[in-house]
Structure 1
Amino acid sequence: MAQRSFLVRALWFVLVGWWLTPVLINIAWLLNVTIVLIPLGIKLINLVPTALSLAEPRGLDAPESGRGQTNLLVRAVYFVFVGWWLSWIWANVAAFLAVTIIGLPVAFWMFNRLPYVTSLYRFHG
């Protein structure tokens, strides 16, 4: 996909991204709470940076994505007891910071760590 210009990304943020991101976050967490729809919820979580500013979507299908990851059972237990509620708070705080403009850099930092806060998933590369 072609890299989008800063102007296009800024316009997207001002017109759409600031309100679409909290909607996407909360839909994702409603899906995650159902347990059955967790895969769809996780896909939506990974689209948060794209919804906010048209950033390139993160891929989870890299061949080496399993290297250096926390054990899947540990990640599942973490998600059930901590990840689902902590990541909801984390993402909504980040969405609030994004609309304050001055908090935008912190919001991007938080959104980029959202998969880890949710399920201890680490992106490589």
Structure 2
Amino acid sequence: MRTLLNIIWFVLSGFWLFLGYMLAALIMFVLIITIPWGIAAARIGVYALWPFGKTVIATPNAGLGSFLGNVLWVVLVGWWIALTHLTTGIALCITIIGIPMGIANFKLIPVALLPLGKEIVDLP
């Protein structure tokens, strides 16, 4: 079932989310000082490509740097990315077929809001 949902997700929105996050990561890599956020954007992009069968967990050894980086991320871009995933998820949940895709958008909110100090792992 995860494979089928991932294929549908990829065709309808996963590929475009992936490209958007990778473009953002590329821009952040060019601006050298923003490389940590570029790595986070690339990680989110890969997660957005195939979200079913994966989950986000907090990294227990994330320190003050992750906290400060997340504060800066939320203030500059995190809130509107999370808001976009929220509104898209609500719109997708209006239809019965779109409910799993809406839930996948809701799963992207925590990592899009606070990307540093998080790890994306496969579900058993």
TM-score range, shorter chain: 0.3 to 0.5
Higher helix share: 2
TM-score between the two structures when normalised by the length of structure 1: 0.41
Highest RCO, 1 vs 2 (Cα 8 Å, sep ≥ 6): 2
TM-score between the two structures when normalised by the length of structure 2: 0.42
Higher strand share: 2
